[in-house]
Chains A and B, each alone.
Chain A
Amino acid sequence: MAQLLEMRGLTKTFGPVVANDNVSLKLDAGEIVGLLGENGAGKSTLVKMLFGIYAPDSGEIFFDGQPANISDPGDAIAQGIGMVHQHFQLVPPLTVAENIMLGAETVAHSGVGAFLGRMNVAEAEAEVRALSEKYGLHVDPSAVVEDLPVGVQQRVEILKALNRGARLLILDEPTAVLTPKETDELLKVMRALADEGVGIIFITHKLREVLAVTDRVTVLRNGKYIGSAITADATQQSLAEMMVGRSVVLRVDKGEAEPGAPVLSVQNLRVKDDRGSDAVEGMSFEVREGEILGIAGVEGNGQREMVEAITGIRKVEGGNVVFGGDDFTNASPRSVSEWGVAHIPEDREKDGVVGNYSVADNMVLNTYFKAPFASRGIRVMSEVRKWALQLIEKFDVRPRTITSPVTSLSGGNKQKVIVARELSADNRLIVASQPTRGVDVGSIEFIHNQLVHQRDAGKGVLLVSAELDEILGLSDRIAVVYEGQVVETLAGESATRERIGLLMAGGSGDS
């Protein structure tokens, strides 16, 4: 098909940092190009220049064979470029139709209504319905966005772009927030859109998705164009090596587990969710020293509430949480942490770091009150700095500065700060919830090795993840949860993707 987009020799610098150095990218109509790279490789910068959020220092953009003059997102939209942002640009209390027409409202065509800008909601909803049928993106136009699951909200974002006549769609890490099933649906939708002639730039970390849906792949590293590949000729291994620039071990290398005494025992646990309905309904399992117990399950089946109950953040309604031999049911987070529980939380921005605090302060969030970081209630900053400098070196946090606020770090590096803090304390149990979400391949490898390392040091690891590959690759035993209960516990080596997938969906596993 005809060439839709060509970005030629784009360079963008932020102060001394070269975010994009002479990067080029081509895209045909109806083609899906995967844009790959580690965190900070310059993928977001590149597409933000295309969408008019940043202006390139040099280089040219051709859209439809014409030099494109894009100075703000409005220009980009007008020319037929749509972007689905990583953080949804939807107004939660408004309906689907209101969100889709915002900025290009369907108003009365004549008379006083046209003068006052009276909206024609019925017509807008009909338009949305027609559009969603055309592309197979099913969504109720009168539903309120905040009531919809994340996957459906994303569909609304895509419809919003298509409604404005987008012929080029930029999807910025769209699958980071989706469940495996939603991801599969999204990939199907992308294929369908491409068949309709829409060109798609697909940014992701997940190599499986890239191989499943793209036609070509372009790889960036450290702001530079590294190369392109036809997807059919590529493998996970080859792409990972292009991204990281060295050979990467995708399969975690781990020996036999040598499980010891139980370090965590959860007995018939009952927990409610934020809205007060039952989320965990009688969950029981054990984590022993020197083993990794993986909790597999579609998100929203009580995992979050279970983890929060264990770590003392959420109230336990019934049952027991026992560390070693001691009952810690409804204990305070401080006493849980002091007993030796490390917690890598699911929502790192909200529960893992204090964004405005420096990297150094974040490294001692769980120990700042103790020696050597405090003496008689006064903080000893020299010790904090020394410790933080050690950790950023050991855990490869970039940039290598401990004074900048954590918000200025990329997602992967924020996660490294949390992992560094939690795994460096003297712990007996590690509770890791979605530890590699939105993290690049190199960091995933690192975090996985750290977890295995902790296991080998005789600690118990509770790994909660929606990524089946992660669960299968790391776990010595796997407990599958469905609707707040453990439906089955399997030995790690005998578990298969298919069987776990079936159990996660509520199937018996025997059929």
Chain B
Amino acid sequence: MKDVKPVTLFFAVVALVLAVISYQWDGRQTEAVVSRAVVEAGPLLLGALCGLLCERSGVINIGIEGTMLMSAFAGFFIASYSGTVWLGLLGGLAMSAIVGLFLAWTSITLRQDQIIAGTIINIFALGFTSFYYIQGRTMPGVPSVSIPFLEDLPFVGPMLFSHGILTFSAMFLVVVVHLFLYRTRWGLRTRAIGEHPSAADTVGVNIISLRYRNVILASMLGGLAGLHLLQSASSFQRGMTNGKGFIALAVMLFGRYRPFGAMGAALLFGFLGGLQAQLQFKGALDIPPQFFGMIPYLLTIIVLAAAGLAARPPAAAGTPYEGA
């Protein structure tokens, strides 16, 4: 790809070399960390795609956390009561679409402050799901897929070819969002309305309808992120998103509002998560687990401070369209 920067390439090579060294040192351990990294990256990546699709269309979405929570909640209980995991996934998606519709309505039609709209979503989701949560229920698991032969490859097998379907969907959707954003008419118009809406308006692009569609679509990606948490935990817990929706925002920023950039950032965060889990399991180091648990959040703050300065958000993000 032509838009890969040398610095990105450099870090990729360094990561690969480290992985190979580590694999020589302890194969099973390394496989466990990278496999876990990909799984941990899944919801962050889906959440970041949600955020970037919204901002690219000119709407700031800080309600990713709440969207994930609502979707996981709906997914869990529908799957639990119906006994069918597919119904649960569909229900979760539908719920996130409703949340997206709310965000679209307040920020596009009512032209309210988008930060406040997102905050409302987050607060409402936490209260709503905690209040109606019923303990002691279970749900059927989200299916996993292992690709024959490929999964047996050393190192890359467990990393790439044996996961729950939602982890695969995250990998797949990065490519889809990238291709659609940069190669299609829809993508061109989306980028245009996020940067300079009146330019799109004067050539006949319907900004309101496109923003509505994109915010709802994006929120469904946020919904997938929430369902991905269910896939890992196999049950719903109060506040189970635990700040991942906000880390997804940091991932989006760190990835400079680009799908593949978000993927790289999500893998970095996921790797820290995977490392933390493995070190905790082994009790390898005499450091309180809370310390490792803190690292992703610490990294989030650093990323938001550093990358936030460098990454240029779409010019019209956060500004309701008032007409040419």
Contact = CB atoms under 8 A, between A and B. Distances in A.
Interface of A: 53, 73-74, 77, 83, 85, 88-94, 98-99, 101-105, 107, 116-119, 160, 164
Nearest to A117: B185
A119 B324 CA distance: 26
Please report whether the interface of chain B is mostly helix, strand, loop or mixed according to DSSP: helix
Given A74-B204, A103-B205, A119 B198 contact: no
B196 interface: yes
B203 A91 contact: no
B204 A91 contact: no
B188 interface: yes
Contact of A105 (B188, B191, B202): B188
Contacts of A107: 184-185
A103 B203 contact: yes
Contacts, number: 69
Most buried by B among A94, A98, A101: A94
B189 interface: yes
A116 B205 contact: no
B195 A93 contact: yes
B183 interface: yes
Contacts of B205: 102-103
A175 B180 CA distance: 38
A102 B195 contact: no
B247 interface: no
Please report whether the interface of chain A is mostly helix, strand, loop or mixed according to DSSP: loop
Nearest to A106: B185
B186 A102 contact: no
Contacts of A85: 202
B202 A73 contact: yes
A89 B191 contact: no
B315 interface: yes
B193 to A, nearest CB: 9
Contacts of B195: 91-94
A91 B196 contact: yes
B192 interface: yes
Contact of B196 (A53, A92, A116, A119): A92
Interface in B76-104: none
Nearest to A164: B203
A116 B202 CA distance: 24
Given A91-B191, A94-B195, A102-B189, 11 more contacts: A73-B324, A89-B203, A90-B196, A93-B191, A94-B188, A94-B191, A103-B204, A103-B205, A107-B184, A117-B185, A160-B203
A92 B99 CA distance: 32
B12 to A, nearest CB: 25
Contacts of B186: 117
Contacts of B198: 89
Contacts of A94: 188, 191-192, 195
B13 to A, nearest CB: 29
Contact of A104 (B184, B196, B201, B203): B203
B311 to A, nearest CB: 13
A118 B184 contact: yes
A99 B189 CA distance: 10
A143 B186 CA distance: 21
B199 interface: yes
B183 A119 contact: yes
Nearest to B189: A102
Contact of A91 (B180, B183, B199): B199
Nearest to B315: A92
Contacts of A53: 324
A102 B184 contact: no
Nearest to B201: A73
Given A74-B204, A103-B204, A119 B184 contact: yes
Given A102-B192, A102-B205, A91 B200 contact: yes
Nearest to B194: A91
16 contacts: A53-B324, A77-B203, A83-B202, A89-B198, A89-B202, A89-B203, A91-B195, A98-B188, A102-B188, A105-B185, A105-B188, A107-B185, A116-B180, A117-B185, A118-B185, A164-B203
